[in-house]
Structure 1
């Protein structure tokens, strides 16, 4: 059941959207595009069912391991629970990372599988990003 927003809540939401567009228009555009297309790859029902069943089987093994005082059975059950939960929670396909341009479009680098070496150290890049944000101002 969905409850409509009150007028005050709608105004606050609009103010938050305007602040987001003012602060980071590229991010706002990308979020809007992602929401319009239904978001990144979702969960597959079959994958979710298998993961939940594996987690439940793992829980049963943990209980059996505790009751029979066999630690290794409980450890295997715990491992099955963790793997089942992770399997159920992972999306079917991983979204590919890209670079957001000034116009808000996403471009994928040509060497998608290869890691490119950037100039400067990690800390130097972080300091440059920090300086850019300080120059842009708070909003």
Structure 2
């Protein structure tokens, strides 16, 4: 279902406001610079998980509880290794907040307050 003309204008207005809000856009930039999953860790963890599932099934088939438990623990460790971040990943310890025109730092709650104010104004425009 296509957007009406009024909805398209509202969407464009919201996009402009979000792009103009430096605090909002900087939160995306800081999230992307913290590093992600390592492809090497994902592959090694997936291989380890498959091998550990085979060990788990082998333990079940041989009716050896200790082998099944070890397979399960190895599987958990493999999945943890796969989703853990690499050790050399850069972390952002403190996100810098942009300064306002007066040189003061914006408060964190001001973004939500601005959204609430804009929402109230939007209700009056309709």
TM-score, with length taken from structure 1: 0.53
Determine if the alignment matches structure 1 residue 102 to structure 2 residue 97.
Answer: yes
Of the structure 1 ranges 56-65 and 85-94, higher mean CA displacement relative to structure 2 is found in: 85-94
CA-based RMSD of the aligned residues comes to: 3.7
Distance apart, 1:95 and its partner CA: 3.7
Distance of 1:88 and 1:51 partners within structure 2: 4
Residues 97-118 of structure 1: CA deviation (Å, up to 9, x unaligned)? 42233317xxxxxxxxxxxxxx
Equivalent residues in 2 for 1:68-79 (5 A)? 68-79=62-73
Q: From 40, 45, 59, give the equivalent of 1:65.
A: 59
Distance of 1:30 and 1:133 partners within structure 2: 14
Larger CA Rg, structure 1 vs 2:
2
Structure 2, unpaired ranges of 5+: 100-106, 118-126
Structure 1, unpaired ranges of 5+: 1-5, 105-128
Residue of structure 1 in register with 2:44 after alignment:
50
User: Does the CA-based 8 Å contact 1:26-1:100 persist in structure 2?
Assistant: no
Distance apart, 1:72 and its partner CA: 1.0
Residue of structure 2 in register with 1:15 after alignment:
14
1:34–1:97 distance in 2 versus 1, CA, 3 Å: closer
Q: How many equivalent residue pairs?
A: 101
Distance apart, 1:89 and its partner CA: 1.2
Distance of 1:82 and 1:57 partners within structure 2: 12
Query: Whose helix fraction is larger, Structure 1's or Structure 2's?
Result: 2
Q: From 27, 31, 51, give the equivalent of 1:30.
A: 27
Residues 87-134 of structure 1: CA deviation (Å, up to 9, x unaligned)? 111222344242233317xxxxxxxxxxxxxxxxxxxxxxxx9xx849
Distance apart, 1:28 and its partner CA: 2.8
